[in-house]
Structure 1
Amino acid sequence: MTTDKMFEVFNHIHEHPELSNEEYETTEYIFNFLEAEGFKPVKFKNITGLYCDIGDFSSGPVIGIRADIDALYQEVDGVKRANHSCGHDAHTAMVVQAMLALKDHEVLSDCGVRFVFQPAEEVGTGALDVSDEGIIEDMDYFFGIHLRPVEEAVSGTATPSIEHGSAASVEFRIIGDDAHGARPHLNYNAIEIGAEIVNMLSKIHINPVIPSSVKMTKFIAGGKSLNIIPGIAECGIDMRAQTNEAMDQLKDRVFDILNHVESFYGVKIEDVDFSKIVASESHESAVALLREGIVETIGEENCLEPVVTSGGDDFHYYTVKYPDLKGAMVGIGCDLKPGLHHPKMTFDHNAMSTGADILVNTVLAAAKGK
C-alpha cells in the first residue's frame, strides 16, 4: 500500500518535536489524524499520549504495539531545542502505517490489536505512567520498535530482539559550609569531596562477565570568587548494567559511598533523586513472532541475531512489571549515522516501510498462532 501518509506523519512530527510529558500538540495531531482515517483513538486520562484499538478483543490474542512520541532536548546548530534524534518520529510513523495496513484486514476477526502512543520514554517514566492508565493488563503480546545504529544493523536487515541494559542515574547535592581560601581547616572542600567520590566509584567491582559502568557525569561547585573554598556542590552519577541484578548491586555500592562520604566528612548529602530504566526481559515467544515477521518481510538471510546493547529503553518496564506479558522489541536496520542522540542523526527513510511491514506480519503471525 502507499506510504504517502506514513511520510506525512513522519514529516509533521519531525518538524514539531516536543519534550517528554509536553507532547500536547503531538498527541492532538495523532488523535486527529487517526480520527480522520476512521479510527477511534482514546487520549490518556492523566498524561499525554493516546491509544487506539482495532479488531475483536474477545476471539483471540490481544496484541499491543508501542510507539514512543517524545523528543530530546539538545543543542542543534547553536540553538538549544527539542529534537527528534532518537527516531521516535519514525517509530510513530511506522506504527501509523501498520495501523492503516491492518485497518480492514480479515485477521482482525481473530485478534485485537492495541496501538499505544507513549509519552516520556526519554526520561524513563512513560511506560510506568501508561501502566497506571490500566490498558496493559488485558494484552497477551506487546511489541516495541526502534531504529538501530549502522554498527548494529545496516539498511535492509532487522533484529527480532533488542536486549537493552539497565540505566540509572542519581543526582544529589553535597551540603557543607563555604570557607575563606586562607583558612582551609575550617571546612571540607566540596570539590575535593567530589574527587574522592570519583575515586571511590572507580573501585566498584561487580561480576566482570556482566558489562557495567559507573561514573560521575555532573559536578558544579564554586563561583566567581576564587578565594572561597566551596562547601556546596551539585553532582550526578550515571550507572549502566546489562542485567537488573547487576544494577541493584551498583546502586547499593553507590549509596554506600554516599553514606560513607556524608559520615566521614561531616557534610550532608541532600536532594537525592534516583531514577532507573530496567534491563530487557524479552519473552521467547514474542521474539519468535518478531523473527517470523522479519523473515516474511525481508527474508531469513536479513534476519539478525538479537542485539545486545548498553543503551536503555523504558519499554522493558512493561514485561518486568507484568511477567505474564509476552514482549520484545524489534530493531530496524536503517544505516543510522553517526549515532542515536546525535543532534544531526540521519537514517534511510525507506527503512520505515520495512519496519511497518514487519509489524503487520508479526501481528498476522501472532493471530495465526492463537
Structure 2
Amino acid sequence: MGTRSIAPYVPLSLLLFCFVLATASVHGDQGYARELLSEAWSDKDWLVSVRRRIHENPELLFELHETSALIRRQLDELGVPYTYPVAKTGIVAEIGSGSRPVVALRADMDALPLEELVEWDHKSKIAGKMHACGHDSHTTMLLGAAKLLNKRKHLLNGTVRLLFQPAEEGGAGALDMVKEGALGEAEAIFGMHINPEEPTGEISTISGPALAATTAFRITIHGKSSPSSDSYSHVDPVLAASSTILALQNLISREADPLLSHVLSVTFVKGATKLDTDPAYVEFGGTLRSLTTDGLNWLKLRLKEVVEGQAAVHRCNTHVDLLEKERTPYPAVVNDKRLHEHANKVSKLLVGPEKVKPGKKVMAGEDFAFYQARIPGYFISIGIKNEEIGAIHSLHSPHFFLDEDVLPTGSALYAALADIYLQDHQNRTEVLR
C-alpha cells in the first residue's frame, strides 16, 4: 500500500503576504544599493585622491607606517572609531550599534617589491616598491565604504567591522589579525580583489573553491666536489638535482587527479659557476599549489619523499625546506555557499545582472583563507580592465595600471554587502519569531 506525504496547511493569505514582503524587500534593496552607488560616485574625487597618495608611497609587509597613518587620519575626519595597532600596523574600525549581528569587511594594504615602470604623475616615489596588485585600491574602497556606512550608522541593524590588514603578500597578515582578535564577534566576512581580466565595474562571483592553497620550497642536494676529469670518484649533485626535478613533474602528470587542480613549479636552480669542477651542492626551489588544502598537504608529503628518494639513488644527501618559518603556507580560499547567494544578489542589485558574471578558479594564493578558517567568508572580484588607458596588465607586473573608475563601485559594493547582510539577518530573525 502506498503512502502519501501530507504537507502542512499554509493559508493562502500568508503566502501572498510573504511574496509581497519579499518583492518589496528586493525592490527596496535595489533602490538602496543604487543610492549607495550614486553617493559613492559623488565621492570619486576624494577616493582618487586617497588612492593616489597611497600609491605614491608604497610600503611592504608589516611596515605600513605611513599608509596606516593616512587611513587613521581619514577615519578621524569621518568620525569612525578604530583600534590601532592590530598585527603591528593594521587597523580595525567599527560602525553601527555595537551589538549583534556583526559582519566584517577586509582590505589588504601592502605593496610589492617591484620597480614601477608606468610613467604617470602619481608613480611610486619609493624605489623598488610598487602597488602592483591593487591593494591601494582595496584600502581606498574600504575607506569609501566607511564613509557611506557611517552616514547611515543610526540605521544599521547591527555592527560592521572594517579590517585594514597588513602583509597579505607572503606575510600571512590575516593570520596575525585573527590571532589578535580582529574578527571580534563577526559571524561573516567579505573581501574583495580587483581583476585586470574583466571590464571595469563588472563583478565576478563564485561559490566553493576560488583560490589555491600555496606554499614554497627550497631543496639543497649535497654531493662531493671534484674536478670533472675524475668523474668516477665524485658524487654529482647536478645529475641528482636534474633527475629530482624531472621526477617531481611526474607527481602532477601521473599521480594527481587530472580533474583536480595542482601545480608544482620549480622556479630556480643554483649551483657553482666553474666549468671544470663539479659543485659541492645544488639548490633549487619553487612553489606548490592546490585548490584544496588537503591537496597541498599531499603535495608537500610527496615532494619530500621524491626528493629524498632521488638523492639516495645518486648517493647524495639532501635538505628539504618548506620555508614555513619564512612564508606561512596559505590555505585554500573556499567561498561559503550561503554568502555566495548573498553576494550574487547584492552585486546584481548594485550594477545590474548584466554586469555580474560567474567567477573563475585561480591558482594564486590569498591569506583571506585564514579568516574563512574561523567564520564563513566570501571573496569577490571586480574588474578594472580598460584598454583605452592601459589598464590591461596582469597583477604583479611592473606595468600594472588601475582604472580608477572602479573605486566608487567597489566602495558601494563593500557597503551594500555589509548593510544588506545585516538587514537580511534581522528579517530572518523576525520571521523565526
Any idea what the Cα deviations from partners look like across 1:103-139, whole Å, max 9, x if unmatched?
1205654111111111111105111111111122511
Q: TM-score if structure 2 supplies the norm length?
A: 0.79
Change (3 A) 1:207 1:281: same
2:101 is the alignment partner of 1:61:
yes
- The letter for the 2-side match of 1:98 is A
Q: Decide which structure has greater strand share.
A: 1
Query: CA distance change for structure 1 residues 95 and 161 in 2, over 3 Å: closer, same or farther?
Result: farther
Structure 2 match to 1:268: 318
Which amino acid counterpart does residue 220 of structure 1 have in structure 2? K
Moved more, 174-183 or 1-10: 174-183
Partners in 2 of 1:270 and 1:239 — Cα distance?
13
Greater helix share, 1 or 2? Answer: 2
Partner of 1:159: 204
Partner of 1:337: 392
Task: Work out the CA distance in 2 between the residues paired with 1:45 and 1:156.
Answer: 31
Structure 1 position 181, deviation (Å): 2.6
2:52 and 2:301 map into 1 onto residues whose CA distance is 44
State the structure with more CA Rg.
Answer: 2
Is 1:316 equivalent to 2:369 in the alignment?
yes
TM-score calculated relative to the size of structure 1: 0.91
Distance 2:320 2:186 in 1: 41
Determine the structure 1 residue equivalent to 2:147.
100
Quote how far apart the aligned CAs of 1:46 are.
4.7
Secondary structure, aligned partner of 1:338: coil
Select which of 184, 191, 208 maps to 2:258: 208
**Other-structure match for 2:283:** 234
After TM superposition, what 4+ stretches of structure 1 lie above 6 angstroms from structure 2?
A: none
Deviation at 1:226, TM superposition (A): 2.5
Closer/same/farther in 2, CA of residues 8 and 259 from structure 1, 3 Å limit: same
Does the CA contact (< 8 Å) of 1:171 and 1:272 recur in 2? Answer: yes
Is 1:198 the equivalent of 2:253?
A: no
Residue type of the alignment partner of 2:280: G
Secondary structure of 1:173's counterpart equals strand
Q: CA deviation at 1:80?
A: 6.4
Q: Which residue of 2 aligns with 1:51?
A: 92
In the superposition, relative to structure 1, how do residues 137 and 40 fare at CA in structure 2: closer, same or farther (>3 Å)? closer
Contact between 2:214 and 2:287, CA under 8 Å: does it hold in 1? yes
The answer on whether the counterparts of 2:225 and 2:234 sit within 8 Å (CA) in structure 1 is yes
Unaligned runs of 5+ in 1: none
* Amino acid in the other structure paired with 2:402: F
Of residues 112-121 and 123-132 in structure 1, the stretch that sits farther from structure 2 once superposed is 123-132
Three-state SS of the structure 1 residue aligned to 2:128 is: strand
Which residue pairs with 2:404 in the alignment?
349
Aligned to 2:417: 362
- CA positional deviation for 1:45: 4.6
Corresponding residue of 1:72: 112
Please report how far the alpha carbon of residue 74 of structure 1 lies from its aligned counterpart in structure 2 after TM superposition: 2.2
Q: Distance between the aligned counterparts of 1:30 and 1:188, measured in 2?
A: 57
Residue 187 of structure 1 deviates from its aligned partner by 3.1
Deviation of 1:180 after TM superposition, in Å, equals 2.2
- The corresponding residue for 1:39 is 80
Task: Check 1:272–1:350 CA distance in 2 against 1; reply closer, same or farther (3 A cut).
Answer: closer
Structure 2 match to 1:142: 189
Q: CA RMSD in A?
A: 2.1
* Structure-2 separation of matches of 1:174 and 1:48: 39
Answer whether contact 2:240 2:316 (CA < 8 A) is retained: no
